[in-house]
């Protein structure tokens, strides 16, 4: 593999002069970054690796709160609601020594809006980015966009000069198999520099001793060695044998073993992902059931009865080994619009469910096919199996069809499943994102993951108006009322919030990040 020789040498020179501790963090998870080009793929593990070396204007800390990064502060412009003003941090340098200025921000946004960019959807509302002076940038949107900063936390800043000098102004054409200088090399402003990279094998990063925040963050790790390990048993064995200090994607069944091992701890937090079932309630008749000429799922009483038949605590204890948080709504906690009351609106009541079924005219029940992935969410197939038994108690005979994610998800997007499992994460931390994909009626650009056939014109209009409502109080009231409809209509059957587990050696100090994106500059090493 190619070594970025120049960077390595700089890094080595700097490390020898380091006054800080020399600690190596050996880090493993199941997959690797797909590319290092900051705008070529919008994918979790890929962003996680970039976050160590590149920086966006704003990042989130482990609690989900904004942390000023390359921007020091930001606000909508006083006289124009369509413009956000960002003040940039001064004195920041890229790894190659070039200064970070407004010009680089303008360049990076324009690059991220190119057709090959995978980040373009997130900043689709931006029409122009202009530099006011060296350290002030104005971002113009096609209408007021109150939650624009939420969409920028994975939008990394590149150096205009370096990018132009290395012919990587165009975003790597990932699907076309293009390899550019930026695929394998990095010149960011971030806390670590790239030392070496072999895709899918090993990536080594070294502390950037010239980092602007070197005194503001712990920065106790001097070298990161990142190794993807696909096999779950091998991943745990590597942790138990002390070859790994920090592990993501911990298999649920091994949590106790790792926790019981000397010198290792497992930390957990609710993840930004909720698991639920969707039901096709829009069709007059559905194919997956045994009732002709009628669609039992179109009756809200049936949907409510099915939700009441699910024993979420039993799923938590038996299927998830305690690693889940029963859910009553399909948004993770920490998302704007989530309320504890609505999240508690799920109860198990078999007798009540049976009564509802009878009222709806399905006292004898019906049979239906449930489509479920078996390699996407934690114990996904096990959850579905448990649901089969639970729904059987109220006369709903479920035929489970579990298959790999690559076969499962097309069923939802092309509308060929009537009863399915789906999990949803909310990268923007705002309910609008949930509504856009899961509640708005399915259209070309919106409602793309709404497989329920639910399509309410009034609600659609309300959802669309959220994007440009700058009166945050009125906007939150709208969000609450949309949620009320979703809950009352029993649009989905929420199951639980996934819990995220990180394994680490005792000397590693970091709290679990709901987005599953560890940022090593926050790590302490005792």
Partner 1 sequence: MLAYIIRRVAQSALVLLVVGLAAFSMFRFVGDPVENMLGQERTAADIERLREQLGLDQNFVVQYYKFLEGAVQGNFGVSYRQGRPVAEILIERAPATLELAAVSGVLAILFGIALGVFTAIRRDGWVANGIMSASLIGVSLPTFLIGILLIYIFSVELGWLPSFGRGETVQVGNWSTGFLTSSGLKALVLPSITLGLYQMTLIMRLVRSEMLEVLRQDYIRFARARGLRSRAINFRHALKNTMVPVITVIGLQVGSIIAFAIITETVFQWPGVGLLFINAVQFVDIPVMAAYLMLISVMFVSINLIVDMLYFLIDPRLRLDRAGGH
Smallest distance from the beta carbon of 204 to partner 1, in angstroms? 11
Angle at 150 between CA 210 and CA 42, to 5 degrees: 75
DSSP class per residue in 341-367: HHHT-----HHHHHHHHHHTT-TT-EE
Q: Rounded to the nearest whole angstrom, what is the least distance from the CB of residue 293 to partner 1 in the complex?
A: 30
Cβ atoms of residues 186 and 53 within 8 Å: yes
Among 319, 310, 419, 307, which Cα is nearest to 371's? 419
19 vs 177, which CB is nearer to partner 1?
A: 177
Cβ–Cβ under 8 Å, residues 74 and 86: yes
Q: CB-wise, 96 or 170, nearer to partner 1?
A: 170
14, 237, 314, 467: which one binds partner 1 (CB under 8 A): 237
Burial class (CB in 10 A: 0-12, 13-18, 19+), 176: exposed
Among 58, 92, 122, 490, binds partner 1 (CB under 8 A): 122
Smallest distance, Å, CB 240 to partner 1? 5
User: How many residues sit in the footprint of partner 1 (CB under 8 A)?
Assistant: 50
Identity of the residue, 131 or 411, whose beta carbon is nearer to partner 1 in the bound complex? 411
**Do 140 and 128 form a contact (C-beta atoms < 8 A)?**
yes
Binding positions for partner 1, 371-430, rule CB under 8 A: 375, 403-407, 409-410, 413, 424-425
CA dist 149 and 428 (Å) reads 9
Nearest approach in angstroms of CB 490 to partner 1 is 23
Give min distance, CB of 52 to partner 1, in A.
20
- CA–CA dist 19, 209 (Å, integer): 9
Beta-bridge mates of residue 503: 247, 266
Which listed residue (34, 131, 147, 350) binds partner 1 by CB under 8 A?
34
Residues 9, 65, 132, 201: which binds partner 1 (CB under 8 A)? Answer: 201
Stretch 158-197 residues interacting with partner 1 (CB under 8 A): 172, 174-179, 183
CB of 446 to partner 1, least distance (A): 8
How far apart, in whole angstroms, are the C-alpha atoms of residue 416 and residue 287?
9
Distances (CA, A) of 502 to 26, 248, 263, 375, 393: 13, 5, 14, 19, 37
Task: Give the binding range for partner 1 (CB under 8 A) out of 140-148, 229-237, 283-291, 295-303.
Answer: 229-237
> Can residue 48 be called a binding residue for partner 1 (CB under 8 A)?
no
Question: For partner 1, which is the closer residue by CB, 172 or 346?
Answer: 172
Asked if residue 68 binds partner 1 (CB under 8 A), the reply is no
How far apart, in whole angstroms, are the C-alpha atoms of residue 193 and residue 208? 6
Which three-class secondary structure state does DSSP give residue 249?
A: coil
| Rg of the Cα atoms in the chain | 25
CB of 350 to partner 1, least distance (A): 34
CA distances to 199, 206, 250, 330, 400 from 318, in Å: 38, 43, 18, 22, 19
Residues between 241 and 260 with contacts to partner 1, criterion CB under 8 A: 241-243
**Interactions with partner 1, residue window 101-120 (CB under 8 A):** 118
**H helix or E strand, kind and range, residue 106:** helix 102-112
The yes or no reply on residue 58 touching partner 1 (CB under 8 A) is no
Whole-number minimum distance, CB 422 to partner 1, in Å? 10
Stretch that binds partner 1, among 97-105, 239-247, 360-368, 505-513 (CB under 8 A): 239-247
DSSP per-residue codes, 199-243 = TTTEEEEEE-TT-TTTTTS-----EEEEEE---HHHHHHHHHTTS
Give residues 437-496 in contact with partner 1 (rule: CB under 8 A): 437, 444-445, 448-449
Strands 136-141 and 126-133: antiparallel
Residue closer to partner 1 (CB basis): 40 or 224 = 40
Q: Which tokens sit at 210? A: 């010239």
Between 122 and 298, CB nearer to partner 1? 122
Using CB under 8 A as the binding rule, whether residue 351 contacts partner 1 is answered as no
Binding residues (CB under 8 A) for partner 1: these are 34-35, 40, 42-43, 118, 121-122, 172, 174-179, 183, 198-202, 227-231, 233-234, 237-238, 240-243, 375, 403-407, 409-410, 413, 424-425, 437, 444-445, 448-449
């Amino acid at each position: 593999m190619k070594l970025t020789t120049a960077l390595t040498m700089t890094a080595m020179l700097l490390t020898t002069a380091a006054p800080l501790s020399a600690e190596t963090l050996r880090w493993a998870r199941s997959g690797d970054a797909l590319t290092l080009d900051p705008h070529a793929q919008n994918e979790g593990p890929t962003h996680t690796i970039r976050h160590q070396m590149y920086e966006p204007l704003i990042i989130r800390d482990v609690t989900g709160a904004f942390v000023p990064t390359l921007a020091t502060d930001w606000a909508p412009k006083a006289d124009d609601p369509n413009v956000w003003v960002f003040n940039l941090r001064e004195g920041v340098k890229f790894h190659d020594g070039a200064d970070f200025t407004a010009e680089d921000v303008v360049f990076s946004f324009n690059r991220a809006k190119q057709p090959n960019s995978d980040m373009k959807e997130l900043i689709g509302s931006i029409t122009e980015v202009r530099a006011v002076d060296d350290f002030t940038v104005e971002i113009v949107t096609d209408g007021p966009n109150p939650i624009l900063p939420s969409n920028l936390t994975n939008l990394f800043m590149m150096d205009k000069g370096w990018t132009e000098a290395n012919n990587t102004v165009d975003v790597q054409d990932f699907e076309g198999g293009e390899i550019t200088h930026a695929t394998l090399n990095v010149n960011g402003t971030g806390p670590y520099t790239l030392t070496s990279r072999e895709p899918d094998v090993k990536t080594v990063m070294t502390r950037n001793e010239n980092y602007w925040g070197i005194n503001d963050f712990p920065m106790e790790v001097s070298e990161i060695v990142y190794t993807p390990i696909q096999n779950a048993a091998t991943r745990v064995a590597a942790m138990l044998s002390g070859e790994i200090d920090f592990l993501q994607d911990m298999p649920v069944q091994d949590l106790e073993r790792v926790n019981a091992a000397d010198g290792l701890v497992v930390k957990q937090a609710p993840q930004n992902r909720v698991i639920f079932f969707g039901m096709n309630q829009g069709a007059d008749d559905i194919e997956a059931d045994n009732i002709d000429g009628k669609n039992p799922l179109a009756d809200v009483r049936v949907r409510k009865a099915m939700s009441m038949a699910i024993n979420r605590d039993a799923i938590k204890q038996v299927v998830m080994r305690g690693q889940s948080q029963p859910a009553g709504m399909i948004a993770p906690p920490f998302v704007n619009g989530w309320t504890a009351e609505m999240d508690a609106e799920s109860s198990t009541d078999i007798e009540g469910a049976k009564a509802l079924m009878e009222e709806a005219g399905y006292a004898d029940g019906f049979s239906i096919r449930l489509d479920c992935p078996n390699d996407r969410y934690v114990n996904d197939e096990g959850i579905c199996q448990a649901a089969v038994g639970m729904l059987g108690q109220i006369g709903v005979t479920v035929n489970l069809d579990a298959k790999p994610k690559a076969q499962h998800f097309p069923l939802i997007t092309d509308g060929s499943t009537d009863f399915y499992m789906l999990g949803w994460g909310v990268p923007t931390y705002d309910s609008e994102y949930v509504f856009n994909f899961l509640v708005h009626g399915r259209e070309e650009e919106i409602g793309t993951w709404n497989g329920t056939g639910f399509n309410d014109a009034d609600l659609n209009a309300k959802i669309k108006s959220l994007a440009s409502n700058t009166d945050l109080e009125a906007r939150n009231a709208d969000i609450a009322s949309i949620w009320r409809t979703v809950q009352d209509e029993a649009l989905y059957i929420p199951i639980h919030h996934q819990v995220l587990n990180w394994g680490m050696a005792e000397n590693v100090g970091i709290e679990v990040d709901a987005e599953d994106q560890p940022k090593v500059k926050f790590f302490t090493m005792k």
